[in-house]
Amino acid sequence: MGRAGRRLPAVAAALFYGVLAALVLLGVRDVLFLYEENRCSMTYMYEYPEYLKIKLPKKTARRYPVYELYLYGEGNYAEENKNLFLTGIPVLFLPGNAGSYKQVRSLGSIALRKAEDVDFKYHFNFFSVNFNEELVALYGGSLQRQTKFVHECIKVILKLYRDREFAPTSVAIVGHSMGGLVARALLTLKNFKPELINLLITQATPHLAPVMPLDKYLTDFYTAVNNHWILKAQDLRNLTTLSVAGGFRDYQVRSGLAFLPRLSQHDSALSVVSSAVPRAWASTDHLSIVWCKELILATIRAFFDLIDENTRQITEDPKKRMSVLNHHFVRHPAKIFEENPEPFTELTGAFTWITVKASKWIYSSYNDSDGKFFTFPLASHRKSYSHVYCENSMLDTSSWIYGCMNSNSSMCLEATDLSWKAELLPTTKVVILQLQDYPSLSHIVIQALPIVGNKYTLDCEFFKEDSRTVQLPVTHLFSFGLSSSKILLNSTGLLYNVQLQHFNQIYQAFKIYIESHCHSLKERKPNVYRLHIPWSHEDSITVAKVPSFTEISAKLHTAQPQNDNRVPELNIYSSSDCQYEVILKTSPVQILGQIIRFHAGTLPVYVVSNILLTYGGQLSTLISTGQCSDFSLELVRTAKPYKVEPLISIVVFLQRFHWFRVIWQSLSLPEVDAAVLSSQDAWFPLVSLILFLFGTGIAYWSGVFFSISLRLFSSLWLTLIRPTVFHKDVKLITPRRLCGVLSLALVSWTTCGAFAILIIYLQYLFKVIKLHVNVRVEQKMLNGDSDPSKETSRNSSIHTVKDQSSMDNTSKATQLLSNSTTIAEAVNSLKMHVTILNLFTWIVLLNLPSLIYWLKNLRYNVRLDPDPCRSTAIILVCILEILMNSSTSEVKSSKLLKIAAKVPLPLSVAMLAFGRMHLYKVPHFVTFSFLLHVLCCIV
């Protein structure tokens, strides 16, 4: 019963941490797999794509031997461009992390087809940079080099057009992923002229912060770019920037990171999510955003609408550029873009004029050869209704709704075109007009064109806004989907707005169920449900058959800004004789997904913090009991969130006060990461506690996995290799080990620091496995000593001396005691080494990206320069060479052990305070703790 009683807490801990690990996996599953299906069409080339390499100046080619510049072409167009006599509009494509220069083909091919449609009156020349598929999202050391190379490319491109009749003076840039950040960084170069770029379109670019801040060069690059765009916002007004995010399908770069900073001085920047882009309405993953046909078509249409007929280049007017981008990426009126549409239109033609006085009206046309004008007098409706809503199922680009001014007759010969107020939806185009905004209008005129072979419907209704607006409070976060909010809409109209009260934070996630029932079984056009987020362009649209049961996920990419009181809405474009039941429930799985989506990059900090607390606890038990506790048991005892979280929360609270910020800055301390995340609306209540618990669960099961792996490796060792007698190393530092340290330090200095770290890690792993094997062998031998017959059998040989069996009992007991003490000391050392190796594993993982980058570019340069972990690697090599040969017996007698046991707690606090947005700082805290351990072995 005693042994069973001791096992109960261990089983309970395993179950608790198993639940935590399962919650993490549920969140990861939601991010990686539970999203909408891919609704993008593939872009195809009609002719074989060709990439013409542009010869660079010798100085540029020598300075950047790895990078290249290409011109895209197809068929005859590619042949004509081989002499580089270019007359088009230059566009430069910049690939992102591990991206290929060939990704430009979707843009180039669609632009070529569009140019053919206009008989090459205008056309674009698409250039693309080959960055050698560098992993710049993982290693920031080459970002500045890429930026300078792009500057040289722009100068080379513009020289190709020199002495042309319509020579360009600037280049438009399309940047995918990190390529968009490199394009923004051009403005930070000292000798760069801002007028060289007038249009920048970025695709799934993390503008706000790096996805994983793995090295100092990456975070410093971001800081320099964003600070420049904030401080020099006034100078960037002539640059028009569009950022397109991929939505929830893009789990590599969450859309909140792709939103450009909102600056009052910089009104020429626009950020949208692809699910809100008209005529696309689809979320894209990180790669499909460069070939999604619907998005590429929107981009190319915008390019052609941006052309100035006088210069035959992209217009220099910033207002027109923003108008075009809003037309194609925000609100499309189902009309071809016009910069200055005519204020009045003559309504002519052999059309029949029909007056409609009803408040609701529907007209269906099929094979109607006669056109009609339907006029709606407004005088009789202004007192009873506040709005008029009209929809047209014919998705052409012709005008169809007009406003007639002060007309007393049944006809209106001159009217203002209200079609520009329309909005295109997947199945219809709609207009919503507030009557008080048009006091001068006397009539609304709907034009029904004569159409042969096609059927379409026109609907109009007048309504009061209050009658079509319903408030639906969202369920509480901790309702866990057990409760719900419901409304029932007995539809008598065509539009309902369901306001989702208190839905404004990124940690909220809901499932909305819409069930429609209709009174008759007649055929109806599909309904459209739109989740509208008023403070950012991140709407999502769902098309559903009628009747149907539809499920919609409601979650945010960006939180509601301060001083913004607008409420998210569910717009239901309904059928007039149907009933709609709307049910809203909290989705716990999607809440976990939001936590992982926004904060997965900080989980390594929490895991290492938990392991570091456990490491400190093991040192404490070494002081109090003389024994090193097991990792799992010590993690359960020591890794508590109340030890680290309160202090950080107090500091974040105090930083709201000016006097504390002055003291903090006088100490030259950086800002606490939690405060920065809170200012970006990316931090919410209890998130740090949840992440700490998640980190504890991951640390626990990683420790279990580590122990099982060591046992498997040691079993394999015992199977393949004959075990040797365990010998304890007397000296920590020997000439051989000193040579090994110098060799690895040289490797770190001349090649890559992460490579030296990996080598010393494998060496340490080998030592620990060997120690594990020796401990198992010695334990078996000790167990065998307790049975004389087994000992005699094991040691029997042809040279056995008979008087060995009559060994003195006192001498034997002394030997057994000595062996058991040695084995106990080896077990303690093994437990300590396992924890140290567990910590070191995370250091290796955090430095692995720079190692991968170095290996990928090894054929170009043996030395990684700059190297983010070179100095850390040299220090770690020296420390770990001593640690791997140390034992707990040397540490127990040290005067510094009490200090070494207390330091991991403040280090864990500092790690969580300053490492969440700077992952590269984590190895520094762990290294300092290792350094104290080494001093304990020496002093």
Active-site positions read 177
Contact 128, 101 (CB under 8 A): yes
DSSP 61-122: HHH-TT-EEEEEEEHHHHHHGGG----SEEEEEE--TT--GGGGHHHHHHHHHHHHHTTTSS
Q: Which residues pair with 430 in a beta bridge?
A: 391, 423
708 alpha carbon, distance to own chain's centre: 33
Question: C-alpha angle with apex 930: 929 to 934, nearest 5 degrees?
Answer: 120
Nearest Cα residue to 419 out of 346, 340, 332 = 332
Nearest Cα residue to 251 out of 34, 37, 100, 540 = 34
User: Rounded to whole angstroms, how far apart are CA atoms 393 and 363?
Assistant: 11
Helix (H/G/I), strand (E/B), else coil: 46: coil
User: Rounded to whole angstroms, how far apart are CA atoms 662 and 260?
Assistant: 30
Pairing state between β 495-501 and 469-473: parallel
Cis, peptide link before residue 923, omega less than 30° from 0: no
Q: Backbone phi, then psi, for 81, in 5-degree steps?
A: -90, -5
Pairing state between β 401-405 and 414-417: antiparallel
How many residues does the structure list for the chain?
939
Nearest Cα residue to 49 out of 96, 119, 109, 129 = 109
Residue 110: count of CB within 10 angstroms of its CB: 20
What is the number of alpha carbons within 13 Å of residue 597 lying toward its C-beta? Answer: 32
What is the number of alpha carbons within 13 Å of residue 625 lying toward its C-beta? Answer: 12
Angle between the 922-938 and 870-883 helix axes, to the nearest 10 degrees?
Answer: 30
Contact 298, 278 (CB under 8 A): yes
User: Rounded to whole angstroms, how far apart are CA atoms 537 and 278?
Assistant: 11
- As a dihedral over the C-alpha atoms of residue 156, residue 158, residue 163, residue 164, rounded to 10 degrees, the angle is 130
| 221 contact partners, CB below 8 Å, separation of at least 6 | 140, 143, 144, 181, 185
Helix (H/G/I), strand (E/B), else coil: 149: helix
User: Rounded to whole angstroms, how far apart are CA atoms 58 and 248?
Assistant: 45
Residue 661: count of CB within 10 angstroms of its CB: 14
What is the number of alpha carbons within 13 Å of residue 455 lying toward its C-beta? Answer: 5
648 alpha carbon, distance to own chain's centre: 26
Residue 592 Cα distances to 167, 480, 510, 598, 918, angstroms? 54, 11, 12, 10, 23
Q: Determine whether 497 is exposed, middle or buried from the number of CB atoms within 10 Å of its CB (0-12, 13-18, 19+).
A: middle
Contact 429, 447 (CB under 8 A): no
Helix (H) or strand (E) holding 923: helix 922-938
